[in-house]
Chains A and B, each alone.
Chain A
Amino acid sequence: MTVPLGAYIAVSAVLFFTGCAGVLVRRNAVVILMCVELMLNAANLALVAFSRKYGSIDERGSVFVVFVFVIAAAEVAVGLGIILSAYRNRPVVDVDEIHQMKG
């Protein structure tokens, strides 16, 4: 008895949309960043699963996972940098308090 691919995809999708919902409803910028990481991880799971299924000879899907790692690391670093420098100007991390772009 083995686990079908669809199960992995289902877990991946559920996690993805959980993160997505978090991005949409949370106000704290750091939490939003965490939720983005969850979404990226969900995408990684789907990539690895498909890679095992369709590309196990050269692991192309997994290569993309490596790149997603890189991007996630960079994104967290820069995202936190932005949050911190914004926080220094106004000591809030609530993204709806930061609305200078309001038209």
Chain B
Amino acid sequence: MISLVWLIPAFPLAAFLVNGLFGRRFLGHLTGLIATVAVGLSALLSIGVFVEVLGGKTQTVVVLYKWIAVGDFSINVSALIDPLSSVMLLVVTVVSFLIFVYSNGYMEHDAGFYRFFTWLSLFVFAMLILVMADNYLLMFVGWEGVGLCSYLLIGFWFERPEPYYAAKKAFVMNRIGDWGYTIGIITIFLVFGSMNFLDVFKRLEESAPAQATLTLICIALFFGATGKSAQLPLYSWLPDAMEGPTPVSALIHAATMVTSGVYLVARSMPLFEVAGPSLQVVGVVGAITAIFAATIALVQFDIKRVMAYSTVSQLGYMFLALGVGAPVAAIFHLATHAFFKALLFLGSGSVIHGLGGEQDMRKMGGLRRKMPVTFWTMLIAGGALAALPPLAGFWSKDEILGAAFANGHLVLYTVGIVTAILTAFYVTRALWMTFYGEPRDHHIYDHAHESPRVMTLPLIALAAGSAVLGIVIGFPPEQGFIHRYLAPVVEAAGVAEHAPELATIVVLAVVSVLAGVIGIAIGVSMYLRHRPDPAALTRAAGPVYRVLVNKYYIDELYDHRFVEAARAFAGASWAFDIHIIDGLANRLGWAFAMGGQGLRRVQTGIVGNYALTIVAGLLLMLVAYGGYATGILGR
């Protein structure tokens, strides 16, 4: 099965090619089926690979062909299949498959149906390359590929200006992050002479380079990760990316692509472990992002934006986990988050679909009777996000907080707990505003309808995953299946896992459940009993509220500081180009034109002149011959 691992990305690639080449003319709505089947086959193969890794093949390198070979330097197109990548393969393909199924319903009436499935297939292909790559360079190929697809899909409805701007923003911010990634891999190559994960880690053990160099590598890589995974300071593209179709938000901007930064850091854990303060940086940035995004999510009214900030916040949790030295918890949370956040997005999409495109929660309300399936599945997902036991989010988030506590990062732990309260609050608020209370816009309410089966079935499947995934692979805490499965990778990375004692675990779990319950309680009290009344609170909070609604004015700050500086620089470059570069070229062309004008006169068109020229040449030859013969011109 592992030797067939190349088929996993090959199926989406084939779907991409078929849909892209023939989709518009011949296939029409068949493109959705083709893409879905292709990803389904990939998912089946991924399950097979997962099982095989479980059976003991903990590290396999499958070489497809030699890509670059220059002297000692060689890069293969090859896959590294170990527990880490097989978990990622499984998560990516399974969630993708469910979202593909859902998209068949969601995008049914869209004119760009075939285009949607073409780009989505390409995205899955690139994501799988990213996950399977056994070296930093091939990973970068996938990394750029998902960035490109993200750009194309955010701007899917490019007829309107907002998606187009959002796509551009996402692309530019990702490029800024990629700059860090590039610095990272170039430095890795210079230091280790290889870009292969296993070679780099082996050489790291044999002779560790200077701390400063390693720190530079890790910070650069992490900077790349902040771009892709929407962490501070490069997070602000992700909320805007919600302009894309909802399945795209679910797949790319919640479940898979944005987690590739987490995967990158987890993959490079051996480097981070020994690279001085870089892990602390990761943890602190993650924690700040988590609480920062959660506070913004408190006051948003666009249902998808709430989810987007929630995603940023949860990604912050994952980096926090990596930072406190608990990569397993990070990957665990990545997996559960992929399920429940995809579900939240798809549920939001189902609501939006049912309401004919309305995204503002102030116009919703009371929808639980109209859309029961969507309501119940989203309730499960919301519970998972709020970390209520026994839902999936509880187990993974609890492990993150437990690891933070056990490894002595009390500040980060506290931030995590506060964020957990905020998380529980905003998810309660979102679900309440959407599904409970009285319908606030009767016109919309009357036309609301439950989504078709093709959309609700994936919701149910994801809900099942969100409900039981945590307890299945994460119980008992710190010794669950996921720990045993990922153990070879973690041991290789040399991460010291501090398993807390049982009593500590229980106490910590109770604390995090309490955090969730408090958040929910505040939410329910505010929105059911109006105690305190949300509107009054808004007025009381005044400036704080305004800052939150305006997202801390970060966009304005970036516009002011960076975008305008970049504009000025671009203007200067333009002037330089027009006056100096083009001027040079034009002057040169002018000089040649003048020379040509002069030389034109030589071409008289009269045959006699040409014949005379021949005789003149003969004369020259005679002079030369005479010169050589007599020795005047030398020998």
Does A pair with B? Answer: yes
Chain A residues near B (Cβ < 8 Å): 20, 23-25, 27, 32, 95-96, 98-103
Cβ contact within 8 Å between A23 and B611: yes
Q: Which residue of A lies closest to B618 (CB)?
A: A20
Per-residue A-contact encoding for B595-626, CB less than 8 Å = 1, 0 else: 00001111111111001100100000000000
- The residue from A27, A32, A102 contacting B605, defined by CB atoms under 8 A apart: A102
Report the number of A-B residue pairs with Cβ-Cβ less than 8 Å: 35
Interface residues on B, range: 10 to 19
Question: Hey, which chain A residues are within 8 Å of B608, CB to CB?
Answer: 23-25, 27, 95-96
Cβ contact within 8 Å between B611 and A102: no
Question: Hey, which chain A residues are within 8 Å of B612, CB to CB?
Answer: 24
- The distance from the CB of B616 to the nearest CB of chain A, in whole angstroms, is 11
Q: Other than A27-B608, A95-B607, A102-B605, give 4 A-B pairs with Cβ distance below 8 A.
A: A20-B615, A23-B611, A103-B603, A103-B605
- The distance from the CB of B117 to the nearest CB of chain A, in whole angstroms, is 60
A12 to B290, CA, bound (A): 104
Question: Hey, which chain A residues are within 8 Å of B603, CB to CB?
Answer: 101-103
**CB interface residues, B 561-611, toward A, < 8 Å:** 599-608, 611
Question: Hey, which chain A residues are within 8 Å of B600, CB to CB?
Answer: 103
List 30 A-B pairs, Cβ < 8 Å. Answer: A20-B615, A23-B608, A23-B611, A24-B608, A24-B611, A24-B612, A24-B615, A25-B608, A27-B608, A95-B606, A95-B607, A95-B608, A96-B606, A96-B607, A96-B608, A98-B605, A99-B604, A99-B605, A99-B606, A101-B603, A101-B605, A102-B604, A102-B605, A102-B606, A103-B599, A103-B600, A103-B601, A103-B602, A103-B603, A103-B605
Q: Which residue of B lies closest to A17 (CB)?
A: B615
Question: Hey, which chain A residues are within 8 Å of B605, CB to CB?
Answer: 98-103
Residue from the set B601, B602, B608 with the largest chain A CB neighbour count within 10 Å: B608
Question: Hey, which chain B residues are within 8 Å of A96, CB to CB?
Answer: 606-608
A99 to B609, CA, bound (A): 11
A103 to B595, CA, bound (A): 13
Closest 3 CB pairs between A and B? Answer: A102-B605, A103-B603, A99-B605
Question: Hey, which chain A residues are within 8 Å of B615, CB to CB?
Answer: 20, 24
- The distance from the CB of B501 to the nearest CB of chain A, in whole angstroms, is 97
Question: Hey, which chain B residues are within 8 Å of A101, CB to CB?
Answer: 603, 605
A103 to B609, CA, bound (A): 13
Question: Hey, which chain A residues are within 8 Å of B602, CB to CB?
Answer: 103
Question: Hey, which chain A residues are within 8 Å of B606, CB to CB?
Answer: 95-96, 99, 102
A78 to B604, CA, bound (A): 24
A75 to B603, CA, bound (A): 25
Question: Hey, which chain B residues are within 8 Å of A99, CB to CB?
Answer: 604-606
Question: Hey, which chain A residues are within 8 Å of B607, CB to CB?
Answer: 32, 95-96, 98
- The distance from the CB of B612 to the nearest CB of chain A, in whole angstroms, is 6
A73 to B201, CA, bound (A): 85
- The distance from the CB of B556 to the nearest CB of chain A, in whole angstroms, is 64
Residue from the set B601, B607, B615 with the largest chain A CB neighbour count within 10 Å: B607
Question: Hey, which chain B residues are within 8 Å of A32, CB to CB?
Answer: 607
A46 to B108, CA, bound (A): 93
A101 to B609, CA, bound (A): 12
A18 to B111, CA, bound (A): 85
- The distance from the CB of A101 to the nearest CB of chain B, in whole angstroms, is 4
Per-residue A-contact encoding for B494-518, CB less than 8 Å = 1, 0 else: 0000000000000000000000000
- The distance from the CB of B406 to the nearest CB of chain A, in whole angstroms, is 89
A70 to B330, CA, bound (A): 93
A101 to B606, CA, bound (A): 8
A46 to B459, CA, bound (A): 103
Q: Which residue of B lies closest to A26 (CB)?
A: B608
Question: Hey, which chain B residues are within 8 Å of A95, CB to CB?
Answer: 606-608
A102 to B608, CA, bound (A): 13
Q: Which residue of A lies closest to B610 (CB)?
A: A101
Q: Which residue of B lies closest to A95 (CB)?
A: B607
Q: Which residue of B lies closest to A100 (CB)?
A: B605
A103 to B310, CA, bound (A): 75
A71 to B612, CA, bound (A): 23
Question: Hey, which chain A residues are within 8 Å of B601, CB to CB?
Answer: 103
A27 to B611, CA, bound (A): 12
